[in-house]
Structures are given as C-alpha cells and as structure tokens.
C-alpha cells in the first residue's frame, strides 16, 4: 500500500472515531466504594477514598473534589485519593468522585465526611456521621478502653495531648448502643465505669446508652416564660405527684403520668412548676437528693425523652419548668464517679478518698456523706456548669433551683472559696448564654450576697428561698390561742428581704422539707388530732393567703391545694 493510501485510511479511521465520540452521550458509571457511606474522621488522621468507574468507550479519568474544589485526578484504575483531615475544617464536608470519558461525559457520586476536632466535643458519647465519638476525663488512668454493643473486645481509647481526656471514634456504633468504660487504674487493677455525662442509662448500677441529644422534636417554640414578678410556683415530686396510669401497683409515677395531670395545674392558676431532683438515683423511690448520675433523667420515671415530653407539655400548657439540681454532694451509693480513674489520696482516711471528682480531705464532709465535689478542680467546675447548660438548653428548662448552696460554699461553717467561685461562674455563664434563665438558691442563711451581682462580689442568683418566712408564719398559725400569736413574726415575714426586692425571695408555708423531716403539712401542724377541722382548714388557708399577697415569689407544695394532711414521703 502506498503512503498516499495509508494517509487516506488513517484519515477515514479518524473521521469514524470522531463521529463515534461525538455520538457517545452515555455518562460513565461511577460509585465511591470506600468509605462505604457517610463517615467521620479525626483531625490529623487520613482517610482512603476509592471509586469504581466504567464506560462503554473507556474512562478517561476520575476527579476527587471536596465541597466543590478539585483535590486530585486519577487516570488509572483503581481510582484512589487520600484525604488528610488536617487540611480541612472541623465540620461536615461533601466528597465527590466525578468520572469522565473521552467524549466529555461525566457522572458523580458523593459521600459526607465529618472532620472532628476532639477538643470541640463534649464529654460523653456524641453520635456523628457513621458512628459515635466517645470522650471521657480520666487524667490519672494508665489506660482507658470502651466496652459495648459495638465491639466483641474492648477498644483502646487515645489519650489526648492535654487535659487528661481520652477519646475514640467508633465507626458503626449507633444510638441506643450500651457501653461503659474499662479503666486501668492509677494504682493498678481494672475498673468498669458508667459514663459520668450519660443522658440515658439502664439504671444507677447498669449500662449507659448512646443517646442522640437532638432527636426529640419540640413543640414549644411559641412559649415564653412569665416575668419573674408574675411567677406562682408549684413544687412537685414526680414519683408521687400523680398515680400510675398503667395499672402498675407499688411503683412510682412517671413523667408520662405527670403529663396527664398538667390540665389540673393549668386550671389551678400556677404558672411555673418546680420539679424535685430527677438525676438518676439508686432504686425506684427517692426524694432525688442522692444523685448517682446527675446528667441522666431518672430511668424509673421514663428517662430523657419522657422528661423532655413533660417539659414540652408544660410549655404548651403555658407553664414554665424549674428543676432542682444537687451539686453539694453526689450519691453516696451507686456512685461510679467515686475513684473514677483509680486515683485517690492514699494519705487521707478512707472516707475522704473519693478521687478526681471529689475533695480528698476534710472538705469532702457533708451532712449526706463524704462526697462533696472538688470545686477547686477546673474540670469539675466545668462539669457542673456544663450540666446546668445541658438542663437549660437541651431540656428547654426555664430555671434551676440549686439545693443547699450553703453546703457548696461552706463546710461546717468554714468558707470554701472554690465553691463560691463555682456559683459565680455558673450564674455568669448561664445568664450570658440564656439571659432569660432564672436561678434560685436554697441557702437559708439570710444572706443578701446570694442575689447580689457578681460585679459586687455576689453570686448573682435571681432569687433565693426565704430563710425565715415559713418558720415565722408556722409559729403564728399553729399557736393555740390568739394571745400566743406574735404578730411581730408576721411583720418580719412580709417585710421584703435580700436587698428589698420582692423577686429576690421565694416564700411558702409548705415544701418538701417543711412537710417532712419531723414536720407535717399545715392542717396537721395546726390540729394533729383533727386536720380536717374548721380551724385547721381556715388557718392553713390563711397562711396560703399571706403567701399569695406578701412581697415575694409565692410557692405551693403539691397537695396543698387539697388541704392534704400528715407527713409527705416519697412512698405517698
């Protein structure tokens, strides 16, 4: 064949090939094979990305893009690229594999990859794309591992470079998985511990569960809590407020049972419900002032979602919700925070050897056990402040009532400056983050500084339980004859205290403390032989009348509206 013929043949073949390319409109087939679905990766780590591609005239190249920006192009199968997490911000990113053929046709597949910065995540278990990120504070542990539904063998956690925290991203772990920490202690030995920041638990001595804090769908967007000077508080204990609605005998009532009684509260005319503590406690019955896990709404009552449903229902009925929280001590039983990472001060007596979460000296002593948190540790203070923010932000609470703040700021009459700093930091933080939040101190020492601004050395609580109002009124109302009534006590009770501001004092004649601990409800205190007598009913009503008309924020205790008598107990 002559050169001219060869040139002519090549020209014809080229023309045919061009027509074939021009006629090809089929895009390549492409899919990301690795990772298999949305995943997360930690800053500083790498992630292999692979794609499979095919085309009837051949794949020209596969491009890899992150958030629309080209990162790499690979012309040879297998089509691969390595993502380095440190090159991208700690947030969700879209990774795209885009395949091209020689005709210019292209098609893409994508996955979402969440880049995680451990320092930006809270303590506990946080669901993320493709798994769960676990983080725990155990500064003196030799090693920390995870046990749970997502693994047959313990998974070693990584010690972060600072702060004594350990973390691990577990691909495939999911909401509802049970887990616990397996800790090699400071003095040796192996400890199995519940998560101190768990929101959802089996019970106070069981497993903790991965919980999605953002899953609950709220219906209270239109609710606004009344101004503080309009508050009328109703104090209630979930386990005894309402009877069981499911026929279960001899068991405490639940959050769902309480929801069924919300119409009664709305009709009564109160506008704020104050709930006794609900942090997970041992057993089924308790006042709530012995929390084992302060972040976990009591499992017997229904757990976290049931509590959120209660708050939601209150808000939809026009009622605000305040929760009583306990941080002057924890436990003392079923307390996994005790010697959490195995360390304790071996030079202290055994009762003062609580470890990292607690004072390991005389400051551990409280009226309820030797478990006062160590407010001097920044991590413990932050743990408590974060707990307050959890209740307010995640559970939509309108305020917190802090139990026995005198036992946070003092030990047996001696000041604890660290405790005072905690109260100041807590109030400054929550009022900055959520200005509408109301914090109430139960201090009962008649001290103005509780409600004074932090700028002037105070603790900046919005209000506090009046220390003497209830005792003055009870003394007058229970006197047998008019000649025995000291009306100066009434004058003292109704005179504004704590800086002269009415909203700085919560006033009452009945509460969970005053109707127990050796005292009875007002009708029985007035006439123990016949609490249903004319005088018992009239004087107790008169006391309530003073509460509603005196200077201060009025509060009723559940059952007071029915003139209930006798002692209140958590078995009622």
Could you give the CA distance from residue 57 to residue 561 in angstroms, rounded to a whole number? 84
Contact call for residues 475 and 436 (beta carbons, < 8 A): no
Helices 487-494 and 469-478, interaxial angle, to 10°? Answer: 150
Q: What is the pLDDT of residue 15?
A: 45
- Among the ranges given (172-176, 247-251, 542-546), the one the predictor scored with the smallest mean pLDDT: 247-251
Q: Kindly state the DSSP code that residue 95 receives in the 8-state scheme.
A: E
Give residue 246's pLDDT. Answer: 63
> What angle do the packed helices 469-478 and 534-549 form, to 10 degrees?
150
Residue from 394, 398, 265 nearest 322 by CA = 398
Task: List, for residues 444-460, the tens digit of each pLDDT value.
Answer: 999 999 999 999 999 99
User: Phi-psi region for residue 128, left (φ > 0), alpha (ψ -120 to 50) or beta?
Assistant: beta
Q: For the chain, give the mean pLDDT.
A: 93
CA distance 272 to 225: 8
Sequence-ordered list of residues with C-beta below 8 angstroms from that of 141, at least 6 positions apart, any chain: 166, 183, 184, 185, 186, 341, 342
- Return the DSSP state at 160: P
DSSP-assigned letters across all residues of 371-430: --B-TTSHHHHHHHHHHHHIIIIIS--SEEEETTTHHHHEETTEE-HHHHHHHHHHHHHH
- Distance CA(517)–CA(331), nearest Å, equals 20
pLDDT at 96 over 70: yes
What average pLDDT score do residues 383-387 get? 98
CB 530 within 8 A of CB 536: yes
Question: Which CA distances in Å does 439 have to 420, 496, 530?
Answer: 15, 19, 39
Task: Give the Cβ contact number of residue 206 at 10 Å.
Answer: 14
Q: 5 pLDDT exceeds 60? A: no
pLDDT tens by residue, 203-251? 999 999 999 999 999 999 999 999 999 999 999 999 999 876 566 667 8
Whether 205 contacts 171, CB under 8 Å: no
Per-residue pLDDT at 496 exceeds 70 = yes
CB atoms inside a 10 Å sphere around CB 180: 20
Query: How far is C-alpha 543 from the chain's CA centre?
Result: 37
CA end-to-end span of the chain: 110
- Cα distance between residue 556 and residue 151, in whole Å: 50
* Whether the Cβ atoms of residue 475 and residue 539 lie closer than 8 Å to each other: no
Span 316-351, pLDDT tens digits: 999 999 999 999 999 999 999 999 999 999 999 999
What is the predicted pLDDT for the residue at 19?
Answer: 47
Closest Cα partner for 59 from 76, 82, 34, 80?
76
Looking at the chain, the whole-number percentage of residues with pLDDT higher than 70 is 95
Considering only residues 181 and 103, tell me which one the structure prediction assigns the higher pLDDT: 181
Q: Residue 410 forms beta bridges with which residues?
A: 415
pLDDT above 50: residue 513: yes
| 2 — pLDDT class (breaks 50, 70, 90) | low
Average pLDDT over residues 554-564: 96
Question: Do 486 and 473 contact (CB within 8 A), yes or no?
Answer: no
Q: How many CA atoms lie within 13 A of 328 on its CB side?
A: 24
The confidence score (pLDDT) of residue 245 equals 58
pLDDT at 162: 92
Longest CA–CA span in the chain (Å) reads: 139
Give me the pLDDT at residue 44, please. 84
Helix axes 534-549 and 487-494, enclosed angle (nearest 10) = 30
Mean pLDDT of 252-264: 96
Counting residues of the chain whose pLDDT is more than 90, the rounded percentage is 88
The tokens describing 138, both together, are 């155990």
Q: Which two tokens mark 242?
A: 């309402």
Tell me the H-state helices in 404-533.
406-409, 417-433, 469-478, 487-494, 522-526
- Sign, CA dihedral 294-405-310-262, equals positive
What is the b/e burial string over 388-420, where b = at least 16 CB atoms within 10 angstroms of the residue's CB? bbbbbeebbbbbbbbbbbbbbbbbeeeebebbb
Strands (E), 227-284: 233-236, 272-275, 279-280
Confidence of residue 37 (pLDDT cuts 50, 70, 90): confident
Query: 60 phi and psi, to 5 degrees?
Result: -80, -45
- pTM (predicted TM-score): 0.91
């Amino acid at each position: 064949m002559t050169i001219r013929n060869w040139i002519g043949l090549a020209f014809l073949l080229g023309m045919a090939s061009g027509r074939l390319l021009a006629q090809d409109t089929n895009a390549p087939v492409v899919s990301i094979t690795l990772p298999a679905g949305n995943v997360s990766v930690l800053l500083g780590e790498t992630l292999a990305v692979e794609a499979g591609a095919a085309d009837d005239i051949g794949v020209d190249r596969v491009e890899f893009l992150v958030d629309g920006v080209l990162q790499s192009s690979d012309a040879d199968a297998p089509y691969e690229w390595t993502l380095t997490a440190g090159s991208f911000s700690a947030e969700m990113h879209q990774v795209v594999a885009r395949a091209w053929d020689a005709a210019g046709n292209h098609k893409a597949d994508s996955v979402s990859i969440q880049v995680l910065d451990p320092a930006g995540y809270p303590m506990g278990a946080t669901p993320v794309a493709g798994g769960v990120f676990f983080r725990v504070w155990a500064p003196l542990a030799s090693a920390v591992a995870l046990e749970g539904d997502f693994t047959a063998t313990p998974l070693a956690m990584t010690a972060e470079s600072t702060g004594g925290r350990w973390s691990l991203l577990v691909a495939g772990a999911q909401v509802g998985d049970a887990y616990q920490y397996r800790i090699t202690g400071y003095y040796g030995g192996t400890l199995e511990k519940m998560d101190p920041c768990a929101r959802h638990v089996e019970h106070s001595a069981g497993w903790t569960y991965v919980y999605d804090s953002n899953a609950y769908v709220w219906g209270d967007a239109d609710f606004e809590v009344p101004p503080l000077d309009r508050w009328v508080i109703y104090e209630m204990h979930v386990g005894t407020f309402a009877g069981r609605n499911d026929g279960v005998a001899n068991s405490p009532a639940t959050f769902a049972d309480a929801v069924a009684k919300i119409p009664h509260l709305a009709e009564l005319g109160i506008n704020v419900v104050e709930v006794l503590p609900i942090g997970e406690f041992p057993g089924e019955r308790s006042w709530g002032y012995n929390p084992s896990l302060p972040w976990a709404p009591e499992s017997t009552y229904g757990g976290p979602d049931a509590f959120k449903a209660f708050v939601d229902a209150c808000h939809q009925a026009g009622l605000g919700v305040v929760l009583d929280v306990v941080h002057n001590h924890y436990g003392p039983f079923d307390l996994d925070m005790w010697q959490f990472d195995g360390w304790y001060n071996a030079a202290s007596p055994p009762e003062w050897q609580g470890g990292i979460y607690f004072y390991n000296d005389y400051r551990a002593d409280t009226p309820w056990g030797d478990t006062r948190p160590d407010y001097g540790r920044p991590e413990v203070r932050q743990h408590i402040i974060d707990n307050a923010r959890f209740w307010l932000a995640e559970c939509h609470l309108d305020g917190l009532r802090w139990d026995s703040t005198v036992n946070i700021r003092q030990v047996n009459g001696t000041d604890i400056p660290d405790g005072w700093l905690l109260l100041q930091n807590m109030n400054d933080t929550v009022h900055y983050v959520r200005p509408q939040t109301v914090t109430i101190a139960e201090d009962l020492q008649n001290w103005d500084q509780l409600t004074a601004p932090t700028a002037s050395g105070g603790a900046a609580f919005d209000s506090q339980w009046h220390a003497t109002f209830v005792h003055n009124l009870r003394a007058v109302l229970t006197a047998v004859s008019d000649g025995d009534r000291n009306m100066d006590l009434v004058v003292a009770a109704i005179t504004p205290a704590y800086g002269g501001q009415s909203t700085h004092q919560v006033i009452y004649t009945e509460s969970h403390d005053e109707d127990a601990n050796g005292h009875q409800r007002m009708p029985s205190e007035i006439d123990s032989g016949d609490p249903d007598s004319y005088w018992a009913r009239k004087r107790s009503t008169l006391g309530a009348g003073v509460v509603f008309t005196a200077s201060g924020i009025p509060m009723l205790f559940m059952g007071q509206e029915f003139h209930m008598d006798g002692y209140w107990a958590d078995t009622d």
